C-alpha cells in the first residue's frame, strides 16, 4: 500500500485515525502488477468518501485539500460497490465487532424495520408514504442484536413494509447462509402472511412485538428498540439526512459506509499503541 503523506494537509474530523487505518488496510485490494502503478492513495480516497458522508456535500464540492480528483473518488466508491469490496469489508468488520463483544461472528437473531426519508430532486425512484406524508424512499434494514446491519434495501416509500421486508430477507439470503439465525423481531406492520412467508423462505421465526394500546406516549419496546438505535446512528451522517442519490443502490452503499465507519471506531478503541491521524 502507498504510504500516506501526513504533512500534506490538516486532518478533517471525518478522516481515518491511524488505528482505524491499521484495521482496514489489509482488507483493501493489492496493487495490480499490470499497467501503470496506482498514484492515488487508498486512504485519501476513503477519507474523501467519509467526508462526503459526514458533511453531506456533493462529490464536486470536495475541498481542494483533497488532492485526489473527485471523479477518482466517486469512481472508486462505485467500483467498490459493484465488485462487492464494500460488502466484504463490512461483513468482516461486523464479525470482529461481534467477537469483541463476546458473541459468535454469525448472529442468531435480529430485528427489522424501515425509515422513511424525503427524496431530493436529484433522486431517481421515489414514492409517497401516505402514513408519514413523505415523498421519498424507505431505508429498510435488518440488524443483529447489537444493531449492526445484516442487509439494507432502499426502495420507494409507497411500498408497504410487508412487501419491502421480502426484498430485505431475499437480499439477506443472497449475502450469506446465516447458519445460526433463528428469529427476527418486528413491529405490527409486518404481521399477517409475511410470518408464514419468512418461515418458508428463510426458515426463520418472524416474531411480532406489539405495543400495548393502553400505554400512552413513548414506550421502549423490547427487541425492537435495537433497530431504532441503528437509525439514530445513521442520522449523524448528513448525507443520510435525505435521499440524495439517483440510484437506490448508491443509497444502500452510503448506509454501508456509515456502518463501516461505526465499526472501525469501535475496533480502533481496542487497538492500543496506535496514534491518531
> Predicted confidence band at 74 (pLDDT cuts at 50, 70, 90)?
very high
**Residue 127 falls within a domain, yes or no?**
yes
Provide the percentage of residues in the chain whose pLDDT is more than 90: 77
> Quick one: average pLDDT of 11-36?
88
| 221 domain-assigned | yes
Asked if residue 162 has pLDDT above 70, the reply is yes
Quick one: three-class SS letters along 56-115? CCCHHHCCCCCCCCHHHHHHHHHHHHHCCHHHHHHHHHHHHHHHHCCCCCCCCEEEEEEE
Which is more confidently placed, 20 or 225?
20
Phi-psi region of 273 (alpha: psi -120 to 50; beta: other; left: phi over 0): left
Q: For residue 272, is it within any domain?
A: no
Cα–chain center distance at 129: 22
Structure confidence by residue, pLDDT tens digits, 182-219: 999 999 899 999 999 999 999 999 999 886 655 555 45
12 belongs to a structural domain: no
In a domain, 171, yes or no: yes
CATH number of the domain residue 227 falls in: 3.30.420
Give the per-residue pLDDT at 47: 97
Of 36-40, 79-83, 95-99, 150-154, the one with minimum mean pLDDT is 36-40
Between 273 and 116, name the one with better pLDDT: 116
87: cell is 460488502
pTM for this model (two decimals): 0.90
pLDDT mean over 37-60:
92
Classify 203 in phi/psi space as left (phi over 0), alpha (psi -120 to 50) or beta: left
Residue 161 resides in a domain: yes
In a domain, 31, yes or no: no
At residue 29's C-alpha, the angle toward residues 24 and 31, to 5°, is: 125
CA distance 115 to 122: 20
Q: How many domains does the chain have?
A: 1
CB count within 10 Å of CB 30 equals 7
Task: Point out which residues pair with 128 in neighbouring strands.
Answer: 135
Q: pLDDT tens across 217-255, in order?
A: 545 566 888 999 999 999 999 999 999 999 999 999 999
Q: Residue 154 pairs with which residues in a beta bridge?
A: 139
Range in 18-32, 47-61, 92-106, 133-147 the model is least confident about:
18-32
| Within a domain: 88 | no
Give the whole-angstrom CA distance, residue 266 versus residue 133. Answer: 36
Res 3 pLDDT > 80: no
pLDDT at 122: 80
Domain range for 161 is: 106-244
User: What's the pLDDT at 212?
Assistant: 63
Q: Which helix (H) or strand (E) holds 50?
A: helix 42-55
Q: How many CB atoms lie within 10 A of CB 155?
A: 21
Amino acid at each position: 500500500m502507498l504510504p500516506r503523506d501526513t504533512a500534506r494537509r490538516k486532518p478533517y474530523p471525518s478522516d481515518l485515525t491511524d488505528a482505524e487505518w491499521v484495521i482496514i488496510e489489509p482488507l483493501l485490494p493489492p496493487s495490480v502488477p499490470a499497467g501503470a502503478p496506482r498514484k492515488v492513495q487508498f486512504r485519501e480516497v476513503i477519507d474523501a468518501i467519509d467526508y462526503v458522508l459526514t458533511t453531506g456535500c456533493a462529490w464536486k464540492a470536495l475541498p481542494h485539500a483533497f488532492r485526489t480528483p473527485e471523479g477518482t473518488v466517486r469512481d472508486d466508491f462505485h467500483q467498490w460497490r459493484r465488485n462487492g469490496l464494500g460488502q466484504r469489508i463490512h461483513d468482516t468488520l461486523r464479525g470482529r465487532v461481534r467477537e469483541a463483544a463476546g458473541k459468535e461472528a454469525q448472529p442468531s437473531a435480529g430485528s427489522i424495520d424501515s425509515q422513511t426519508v424525503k427524496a431530493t430532486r436529484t433522486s431517481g425512484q421515489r414514492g409517497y408514504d401516505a402514513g408519514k406524508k413523505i415523498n421519498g424512499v424507505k431505508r429498510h434494514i435488518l440488524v443483529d442484536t447489537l444493531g449492526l446491519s445484516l442487509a439494507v434495501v432502499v426502495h420507494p416509500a409507497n411500498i408497504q413494509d410487508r412487501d419491502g421486508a421480502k426484498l430485505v430477507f431475499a437480499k439477506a439470503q443472497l449475502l450469506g447462509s446465516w447458519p445460526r439465525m433463528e428469529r427476527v423481531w418486528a413491529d405490527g406492520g409486518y404481521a399477517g402472511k409475511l410470518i408464514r412467508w419468512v418461515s418458508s423462505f428463510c426458515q426463520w421465526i418472524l416474531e411480532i412485538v406489539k405495543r400495548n394500546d393502553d400505554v400512552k406516549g413513548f414506550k421502549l419496546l423490547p427487541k425492537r428498540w435495537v433497530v431504532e438505535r441503528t437509525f439514530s446512528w445513521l442520522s449523524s451522517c448528513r448525507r443520510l439526512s435525505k435521499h440524495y442519490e439517483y440510484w437506490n443502490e448508491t443509497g444502500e452503499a452510503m448506509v454501508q459506509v456509515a456502518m463501516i465507519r461505526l465499526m472501525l471506531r469501535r475496533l480502533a478503541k481496542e487497538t492500543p499503541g496506535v496514534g491518531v491521524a
